[in-house]
């Protein structure tokens, strides 16, 4: 019996030594081999480093003639939600409770997207230009791939069960400190916020943060741009938000210090603090009232004439300031992801190049008059189509009028007359004037995505290219380039740099006013005056009578250009671009306008589409600017004559 007890005692002692050895080994592993790892954890628990977020700068437009400013991009408070699975005791219950609410949230979001696409005119545009959405990313719970046309909708119960299972798989991770529930750009609506506040689900965190807001919705959307996400980092995209992202976003602050047991920073510990630097506010040259005029006229025109897309630019020709800039269809930067076609968000006024057609004729004519190669009264004979190289060039309507002046050439938009001008000037001279008018170079306007257009060197021009360039075919411009070139004529021959920023206001209170920039004198004041009068005659006596506003002398030029087919390399037989460029009143222009319609329906010409749109907008601007009439519209007026 005693021997059995002795054996048991020895076994227990041996077992104790073995257990002690295991514990010592584990302790050595923790203290020595994994010392650095646990010290890092301890250090992370003792220290806190917090990025202090700056406020993004506000973007303002002018609110009417009084000089007041109004925000078109600002900041507001919004709620986000995410999950902390390690704080969930019952992830299955949380997933089952959250799934139905998340499905309802997705349904509301989808309906809102459909409404915005309808309101911003995207439906027809999307069917013509299908392309990926602006920010594709992996799906999240609550996002189901839409059924194919031939399949029947999945029952709601099955959708909820599927989402609940997805959520449970995310939540059933005991050590997971973070799982997203919504996309970075998605903010809780009131229904989902109230639901989550009421349920107070364990491991579901609600957090308030500053988000970007656009109080005017789609107003000036293409000029403002929006704040999107690069991964989880906010970044400005397109327009002012993209171009000035670095100064708008400001600089992060930093706070680092010892933390005590309560979690508060220990005041006597070694701390580092750098305050956040808020972003710069930007005041634009855009007039909110004129912008609204332009957007309404454009929407009406695009829908009335069945155009794929349209744009309007309004400028002050004396300063180069952009007063309005509109494109339709448009988008709402508050829900910029409510776009199935990323092209809708690009600003065609600065990014799209096109063959300008006949709106370029006054520019070429100005060069010829400036170099004394022609006058408004110089004549040529139009006896019919002319042969240039292997091409036959005709008038737009096939009509011919015999002896014609240079003024008649612009009045009737006569291509044959412009070929005569081109042959007088020669390729080198034409090229030089185009460059002096700013064609073939970026304007430098402060907007993201301006396209660099190219102008072929004159030694490479064929006789046909020399001829077609004179009436705006075979070379390209952007809309902002085209109007800025016309503004040279309106501004006594001076080229200004287009600009859209009026002032920059730093968070410290410093204000930097942006002065107009003169680029160069292109033509003489006398030449500009003569060509301006010729353009007035286009409206008073020529093909653009539908642009006429009684009581005022307005200058203008129609344009109808063919569009190259990228597949064949030849001009399309169906697509076209319609434009009208003008300014007024002459001789003291207060505004300039360019209207561009992409492929309006049917056999449309600018005289019946863009020209009346110009008239409608000009009437509003003349009233808004309180411009007195040039003459008594009720009295009989003699036919306008170019001085």
- Binned at pLDDT 50, 70 and 90, residue 323 comes out as very high
Given a cut of 50, is residue 232 above it in pLDDT? Answer: yes
Q: What is the mean pLDDT of residues 60-69?
A: 87
Task: Give the whole-angstrom CA distance, residue 281 versus residue 60.
Answer: 8
Q: How many residues does the chain have?
A: 643
Helix ranges (H only) for 491-609 are 525-541
Enter the tokens of residue 318: 């004396």
Residue with tokens 């007024």: 584
pLDDT of residue 643: 82
Q: What percent of the chain has pLDDT over 90?
A: 74
Task: Give the whole-angstrom CA distance, residue 465 versus residue 422.
Answer: 10
Mean residue pLDDT of the chain comes to: 88
Q: Which residues pair with 239 in a beta bridge?
A: 448
Q: Which of 35-44, 80-89, 183-192 has the lowest mean pLDDT?
A: 35-44
List the one residue out of 612, 558, 621, 550 whose CA is nearest residue 592. Answer: 621
On the question of a cis peptide bond just before residue 329, with omega within 30 degrees of 0, the verdict is: yes
Q: What percent of the chain has pLDDT over 70?
A: 85
Give ∠ CA 347-592-641 in degrees, rounded to 5.
Answer: 145
Enter the tokens of residue 204: 């579901």
Q: Which residues lie closer than 8 Å to 368 by C-beta, 6 or more apart?
A: 374, 406, 421, 424, 425
Task: Give the whole-angstrom CA distance, residue 598 versus residue 418.
Answer: 24
Q: Which residues pair with 321 in a beta bridge?
A: 316, 499
Burial 256-286 (b: 16+ CB within 10 A, else e): ebeeeeeeebeeeeeeeeeebbbbbbbbbbb
List the one residue out of 370, 407, 344 whose CA is nearest residue 134. Answer: 344
| CA 61 from centre of chain | 16
Enter the tokens of residue 461: 């021009």
505-539 confidence digits (pLDDT tens):
999 999 999 999 999 999 999 999 999 999 999 99
Given a cut of 60, is residue 143 above it in pLDDT? Answer: no
- Binned at pLDDT 50, 70 and 90, residue 241 comes out as very high
445-493 confidence digits (pLDDT tens):
999 999 999 999 999 999 999 999 999 999 999 999 999 999 999 999 9
366-421 confidence digits (pLDDT tens):
999 999 999 999 999 999 999 999 999 999 999 999 999 999 999 999 999 999 99
Task: Give the whole-angstrom CA distance, residue 564 versus residue 571.
Answer: 4
pLDDT of residue 19: 58
577-605 confidence digits (pLDDT tens):
999 999 999 999 999 999 999 999 876 78
Burial 585-601 (b: 16+ CB within 10 A, else e): bbeebbbbbbbbbbbbe
List the one residue out of 613, 9, 635, 585 whose CA is nearest residue 305. Answer: 613
For the chain, domains (ranges, CATH) are 50-143+153-284 (3.90.1310.10)
CA quadruple 619, 622, 624, 628: dihedral sign: negative
Enter the tokens of residue 598: 């992409």
pLDDT of residue 20: 57
- Binned at pLDDT 50, 70 and 90, residue 543 comes out as very high
> CA distances (Å), 512 to each of 98, 224, 243, 505, 508, in order?
51, 20, 17, 6, 12
Burial 155-172 (b: 16+ CB within 10 A, else e): eeeebbebbbebbbebbe
- Binned at pLDDT 50, 70 and 90, residue 53 comes out as confident
> CA distances (Å), 501 to each of 225, 284, 320, in order?
14, 4, 11
Given a cut of 90, is residue 608 above it in pLDDT? Answer: yes
568-577 confidence digits (pLDDT tens):
778 887 789 9
List the one residue out of 97, 105, 109, 108 whose CA is nearest residue 203. Answer: 97
Q: Which of 123-132, 323-332, 518-527 has the lowest mean pLDDT?
A: 123-132
Q: What ranges make up the beta strands (E) of 464-543?
A: 494-496, 501-505, 511-513, 518-521
List the one residue out of 226, 190, 225 whose CA is nearest residue 104. Answer: 190
pLDDT of residue 459: 96
For the whole model, what pTM was predicted? 0.86
Given a cut of 50, is residue 114 above it in pLDDT? Answer: yes
329-375 confidence digits (pLDDT tens):
999 999 999 987 889 999 999 999 999 999 999 999 999 999 999 99
- Binned at pLDDT 50, 70 and 90, residue 152 comes out as low
pLDDT of residue 130: 43
List the one residue out of 298, 295, 309 whose CA is nearest residue 127. Answer: 309
Q: What is the mean pLDDT of residues 18-46?
A: 48
| CA 77 from centre of chain | 24
- Binned at pLDDT 50, 70 and 90, residue 136 comes out as very low
Task: Give the whole-angstrom CA distance, residue 130 versus residue 126.
Answer: 5
pLDDT of residue 149: 42
Q: Which residues pair with 504 in a beta bridge?
A: 282, 512
For every residue of 279-332, DSSP letters joined together read PPEEEEEEEHHHHHHHHHHHHHHHHHHT-SEEEEEEEETTTTEEEEEEEES---
Task: Give the whole-angstrom CA distance, residue 456 versus residue 8.
Answer: 103
Task: Give the whole-angstrom CA distance, residue 328 versus residue 485.
Answer: 23
Which tops the pLDDT comparison, 119 or 7? Answer: 119
List the one residue out of 476, 475, 499 whose CA is nearest residue 487. Answer: 499
Task: Give the whole-angstrom CA distance, residue 310 versus residue 302.
Answer: 6
244-271 confidence digits (pLDDT tens):
999 999 988 877 655 554 445 555 455 6
Q: Are 253 and 267 in contact (CB under 8 A)?
A: no
For residue 136, count CB atoms less than 10 angstroms from its CB and return exposed for 0-12, middle for 13-18, buried for 19 or more. Answer: exposed
| DSSP designation for 251 | B
Task: Give the whole-angstrom CA distance, residue 462 versus residue 409.
Answer: 23
- Binned at pLDDT 50, 70 and 90, residue 225 comes out as very high
H/E element, 204: strand 204-213
**Largest separation between any pair of C-alpha atoms in the chain:** 141
Residue with tokens 């969930």: 88
pLDDT of residue 21: 56
- Binned at pLDDT 50, 70 and 90, residue 85 comes out as very high
283-319 confidence digits (pLDDT tens):
999 999 999 999 999 999 999 999 999 999 999 999 9
Residue 455 phi, psi (nearest 5): -120, 115
């Amino acid at each position: 019996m005693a021997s059995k007890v002795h054996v048991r005692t020895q076994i227990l002692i041996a077992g104790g030594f073995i257990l002690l050895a295991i514990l010592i080994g584990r302790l050595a592993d923790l203290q020595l081999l994994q010392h650095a790892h646990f010290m890092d954890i301890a250090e992370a628990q003792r220290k806190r480093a917090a990025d202090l977020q700056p406020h993004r700068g506000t973007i303002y437009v002018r609110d009417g003639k009084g000089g007041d400013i109004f925000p078109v991009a600002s900041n507001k408070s919004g709620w986000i939600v995410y999950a902390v699975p390690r704080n969930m005791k019952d992830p299955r219950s949380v997933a089952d409770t959250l799934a139905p609410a998340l499905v309802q949230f997705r349904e509301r979001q989808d309906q809102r997207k459909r409404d915005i696409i309808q309101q911003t005119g995207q439906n027809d545009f999307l069917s013509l230009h299908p392309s990926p959405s602006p920010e594709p990313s992996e799906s999240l719970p609550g996002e189901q791939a839409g059924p194919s046309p031939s399949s029947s909708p999945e029952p709601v119960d099955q959708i909820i069960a599927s989402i609940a299972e997805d959520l449970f798989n995310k939540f059933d991770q005991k050590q997971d400190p973070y799982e997203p529930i919504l996309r970075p750009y998605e903010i809780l609506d009131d229904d989902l916020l109230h639901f989550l506040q009421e349920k107070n689900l364990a491991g579901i965190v609600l957090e308030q943060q500053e988000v970007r807001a656009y109080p005017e919705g789609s107003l000036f959307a293409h000029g403002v741009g929006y704040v999107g996400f690069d991964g989880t980092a906010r970044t400005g995209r397109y327009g002012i938000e993209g171009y000035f992202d670095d100064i708008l976003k400001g600089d992060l602050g930093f706070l680092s210090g010892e933390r005590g047991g309560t979690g508060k920073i220990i005041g006597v510990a070694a701390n580092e603090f750098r305050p956040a630097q808020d972003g710069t506010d930007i005041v634009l040259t855009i007039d909110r009232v004129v912008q609204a005029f332009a957007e309404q006229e454009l929407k009406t025109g695009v829908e009335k004439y069945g155009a794929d897309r349209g744009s309007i630019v309004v400028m002050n020709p004396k300063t180069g300031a952009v007063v309005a800039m509109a494109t339709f269809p448009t988008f709402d930067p508050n829900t910029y992801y409510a776009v199935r076609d990323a092209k809708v968000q690009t600003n065609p006024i600065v990014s799209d190049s096109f063959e300008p057609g006949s709106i370029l004729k006054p520019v070429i004519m100005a060069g010829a008059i400036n170099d004394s190669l022609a006058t408004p009264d110089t004549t040529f004979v139009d006896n019919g189509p002319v042969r240039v190289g292997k091409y036959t060039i005709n008038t737009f309507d096939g009509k011919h009028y015999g002896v014609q002046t240079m003024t008649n050439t612009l009045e009737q938009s006569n291509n044959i007359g412009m070929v005569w001008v081109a042959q007088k000037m020669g390729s080198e001279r034409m090229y030089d004037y185009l460059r002096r008018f700013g064609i073939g170079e970026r304007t430098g306007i402060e907007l993201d995505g301006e396209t660099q257009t190219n102008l072929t060197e004159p030694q490479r021009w064929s006789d046909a290219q020399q001829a077609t360039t004179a009436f705006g075919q075979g070379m390209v411009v952007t809309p902002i380039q085209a109007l800025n070139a016309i503004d040279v004529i309106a501004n006594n021959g001076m080229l200004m740099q287009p600009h859209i920023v009026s002032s920059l206001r730093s968070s410290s209170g410093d204000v930097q006013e942006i002065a107009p920039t003169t680029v160069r004198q292109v033509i003489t004041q006398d030449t500009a005056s003569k060509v301006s009068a010729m353009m007035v005659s286009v409206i008073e006596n020529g093909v653009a009578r539908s642009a006429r506003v009684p009581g005022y002398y307005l200058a203008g030029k129609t344009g109808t250009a063919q569009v190259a087919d990228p597949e064949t390399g030849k001009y399309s037989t169906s697509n076209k671009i319609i434009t009208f460029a003008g300014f007024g009143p002459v001789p003291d222009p207060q505004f300039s306008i360019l209207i561009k319609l992409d492929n309006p329906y049917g056999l449309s010409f600018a005289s019946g589409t863009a020209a009346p749109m110009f008239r409608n907008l000009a009437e509003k601007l003349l009233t808004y600017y309180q411009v007195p009439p040039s003459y008594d519209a009720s009295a009989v007026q003699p036919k306008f004559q170019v001085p």
